[in-house]
């Protein structure tokens, strides 16, 4: 069914860069055999998963949306992928993305532009736009994305699905193509909070192959989904919800603000106490993020020299081999980030940019900490607007960056956040979805999923 649906819808939506029909059918048959023989199967048995193309898969290409990695086939699965497979999941294919995760609309893929299933003339968001669109269009049950500055949460909001960015360190980054290593996390998409929680269960936990993965115990994120509280009239009684004032200021579409107010009223009806909180350093997060992410990426992407990985442009001489490989292999957004990052890290500018940005990061982390000492969760929009038209912001990088204002601070602080649908605004044939962002304390995904599950 899923393969048929992909065949029918993907020529229009273009979520997938690669679909592995043969391995899907083989794995499904193997699973059938296991079930017939009464062998034990995992909690994701037979679940069709889409995987963002910057997450390594041993039997499929992993291009990270870049020409430079066009012919790259990793020799191994990323830890998140091998864990899913151990749970019985079937990887259906690799989803489209902005090159190396740099972008907010999936228009910066070297291969194709993915459309938003709600309105094919609009972007699905990004950079994990393919993974969000695939779940939204019913092409797979759940999918994996990555979130460096919002790439799971913003496309979830644009495509009307659930998106979860785990705490930094909760999920191993082994096998995730590095963009900005201190910010990158693998995240989950699903069409419900419970699906998303089941996927998080499968991929979480310590991994000796990733030194930054946490040794914290992983709770069963799904245990609360059968909680009896749900039958109370005020199932979230006593939960303290902080609404971040700076995220509902000017610059945010009025209809988005209205949807978020609606979500807050719903939480109040469920028994939450609502507080207004202020994060004074909020607006500094965006410039700090772009300096830090670009700096880290300029260092991480130096490995693509045409010798160690991917496509090589032939040349008589070593320096021109590097130059030609990069000139032809990288798209313009990636080149812009490498230039920005190299500039920010250069000797004379280090104190003015990189160091200042790190100081802002500390401020952001502290202000979240004090807001989360007073509140169980914090609320904001996931993006300042709903999905916009394909082409609308493509040639205006600053407008594109400004759209990340709601999400980047969470990455600077390393916190978990859940985005789930909370309403619609006008546009497209059937309205455009809007997502609300719930931010939790570090390693408290459990609470976010519980609140989200009761909310939805
Ligand atoms: N849009 C942001 C950027 O381009 C975030 C991307 C991401 O989370 N991968 O850096």
How does DSSP assign 248-297, residue by residue? GSTTS-HHHHHHHHHHHHHHHHTT-EEEEE--TTGGGHHHHHHHHHHHHH
* Ligand 1 surroundings by CB, under 6 angstroms: 101-104, 127, 146-151, 179, 293, 404
Nearest atom within ligand 1 for CA of residue 151: 8
Q: Is the pLDDT of residue 229 over 80?
A: no
User: In b/e form, how buried is each residue of 154-171, taking b as 16+ CB within 10 angstroms?
Assistant: bbbbbbbbbbbbbbbbbb
Instruction: Note the pLDDT of residue 111.
Output: 98
Cis amide leading into 127 (omega within 30):
yes
Pocket test for ligand 1, best of 130, 150, 297 (most atoms within 8 A of CB): 150
CA dihedral 248→136→91→148, nearest 10 degrees, is -20
- Helix and strand numbers (H, E) in the chain are 14, 11
Residue 179, strand partner residues:
none
Cα 271 to averaged position of ligand 1 atoms, centre (Å): 35
DSSP 3-state of 420:
strand
pLDDT in tens, 96-136: 999 999 999 999 999 999 999 999 999 999 999 999 999 99
Choice among 62, 104, 151, 194 that is catalytic: 151
Query: Do 83 and 241 touch, CB atoms closer than 8 A?
Result: no
52: annotated active-site residue: yes
pLDDT in tens, 138-158: 999 999 999 999 999 999 999
Say how far apart CA 100 and CA 116 lie, in whole Å: 20
Where is 194: in which H helix or E strand? Answer: helix 193-203
As given in the structure block, the two tokens for residue 251 are: 């610059």
450: annotated active-site residue: no
DSSP 3-state of 377:
strand
Nearest atom within ligand 1 for CA of residue 146: 9
Instruction: Note the pLDDT of residue 164.
Output: 98
Query: Do 54 and 65 touch, CB atoms closer than 8 A?
Result: yes
Query: Do 5 and 139 touch, CB atoms closer than 8 A?
Result: yes
Choice among 52, 165, 447, 450 that is catalytic: 52
Choice among 15, 20, 62, 127 that is catalytic: 127
Cα 160 to averaged position of ligand 1 atoms, centre (Å): 19
Say how far apart CA 222 and CA 235 lie, in whole Å: 17
Cα 33 to averaged position of ligand 1 atoms, centre (Å): 42
127: annotated active-site residue: yes
Q: How many Cβ atoms sit within 10 Å of the Cβ of residue 371?
A: 18
pLDDT in tens, 331-355: 999 999 999 999 999 989 999 999 9
As given in the structure block, the two tokens for residue 430 are: 């059937």
Residue 187, strand partner residues:
145
Nearest atom within ligand 1 for CA of residue 293: 10
Nearest atom within ligand 1 for CA of residue 148: 8
% of residues, the chain, pLDDT over 90: 93
Report field, pTM of the whole predicted structure over 0.90: yes
């Amino acid at each position: 069914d899923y393969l048929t649906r992909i065949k029918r819808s993907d020529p229009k939506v273009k979520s997938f860069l690669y679909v592995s029909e043969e391995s899907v059918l083989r794995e499904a048959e193997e699973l059938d055999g296991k079930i017939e023989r009464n062998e034990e199967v995992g909690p994701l048995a037979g679940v069709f998963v889409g995987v963002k193309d910057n997450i390594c898969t041993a039997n499929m290409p992993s291009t990270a949306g870049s020409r430079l990695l066009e012919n790259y086939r990793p020799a191994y699965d990323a830890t998140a992928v091998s864990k899913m497979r151990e749970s019985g999941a079937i990887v259906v294919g690799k989803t489209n993305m902005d090159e190396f995760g740099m972008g907010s609309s999936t228009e910066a893929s070297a291969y194709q532009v993915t459309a938003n299933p709600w309105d094919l003339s609009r972007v699905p968001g990004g950079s994990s736009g393919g993974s969000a669109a695939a779940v939204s269009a019913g092409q797979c049950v759940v999918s994996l994305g990555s979130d460096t500055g919002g790439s799971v949460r913003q496309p979830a909001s644009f495509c009307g699905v659930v998106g979860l960015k785990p705490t930094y360190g909760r999920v191993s980054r082994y096998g995730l193509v590095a963009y900005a290593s201190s910010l990158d996390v693998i995240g989950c998409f699903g069409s419900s909070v419970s699906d998303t929680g089941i996927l998080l269960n499968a991929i979480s936990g310590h991994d000796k192959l990733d030194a930054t993965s946490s040794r914290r115990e992983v709770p069963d994120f799904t245990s609360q989904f059968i909680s009896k509280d749900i039958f109370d009239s005020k199932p979230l009684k006593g939960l303290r919800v902080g609404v971040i004032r700076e995220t509902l200021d000017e610059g945010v579409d009025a209809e988005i603000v209205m949807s978020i107010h609606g979500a807050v009223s719903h939480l109040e009806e469920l028994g939450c106490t609502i507080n207004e909180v202020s994060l004074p350093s909020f607006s500094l997060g965006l410039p700090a993020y772009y300096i830090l992410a670009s700096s880290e990426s300029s260092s991480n992407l130096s490995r693509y020299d045409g010798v160690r990985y991917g496509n090589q442009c032939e040349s008589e001489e070593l320096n021109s081999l590097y130059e030609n490989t990069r000139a032809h292999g990288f798209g313009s957004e990636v080149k812009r980030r490498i230039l920005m990052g190299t500039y920010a890290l250069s000797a004379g500018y280090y104190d003015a940019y990189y160091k200042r940005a790190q100081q802002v990061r500390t401020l952001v982390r502290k202000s979240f900490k004090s807001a989360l000492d007073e509140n169980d969760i914090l609320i904001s929009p996931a993006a300042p607007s709903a999905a916009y038209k394909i082409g609308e912001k493509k040639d205006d990088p600053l407008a594109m960056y400004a759209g990340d204002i709601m999400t980047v601070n969470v990455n600077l602080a390393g916190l978990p956040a859940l985005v789930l649908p909370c309403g619609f605004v006008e546009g497209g044939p059937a309205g455009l979805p809007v997502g609300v962002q719930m931010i939790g304390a570090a390693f408290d995904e459990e609470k976010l999923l519980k609140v989200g599950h009761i909310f939805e």
